[in-house]
Amino acid sequence: MSLNPRITDWHGRRTWLVGASSGIGLALAEALHARGAQVIVSARNAAALQAFADTHPGSMALPLDVTDAPSLGAACARVTTRGPVDLVCYCAGHYHAMRATQIDTHDLLRHQAVNVTGALHLLAPVVQALLVQGHGHLSFISSVAGFRGLPKSLAYGPTKAALINLAETLYLDLSPHGLGVSVINPGFVATPLTAQNDFHMPALIQPAEAAEAILRGWARGAFEIHFPKRFTGLLKLLRCLPYPLYFALVRRITQP
Residues 12-62 have pLDDT tens digits of 999 999 999 999 999 999 999 999 999 999 999 999 999 999 999 999 999
156 in catalytic set: yes
Catalytic residue among 90, 156, 171, 243: 156
User: Taking 80 as the threshold, does the pLDDT of residue 256 lie above it?
Assistant: no
Please give the average per-residue pLDDT across 138-155, as a whole number. Answer: 96
What is the signed CA dihedral for 41, 68, 215, 146, rounded to 10 degrees? Answer: 150
Q: Are 11 and 34 in contact (CB under 8 A)?
A: no
Residues 156-175 have pLDDT tens digits of 999 999 999 999 999 999 99
Instruction: Map out the domains of the chain as residue ranges.
Output: 14-254
CATH number of 14-254: 3.40.50.720
Average pLDDT score, the chain: 96
User: Taking 90 as the threshold, does the pLDDT of residue 193 lie above it?
Assistant: no
CA dist 95 and 195 (Å) reads 11
Q: Are 132 and 179 in contact (CB under 8 A)?
A: no
Q: Which residues contact 145 (CB under 8 A, 6 or more apart)?
A: 153, 156, 157, 160
User: Taking 80 as the threshold, does the pLDDT of residue 123 lie above it?
Assistant: yes
Please give the average per-residue pLDDT across 66-95, as a whole number. Answer: 95
CA dist 129 and 24 (Å) reads 25
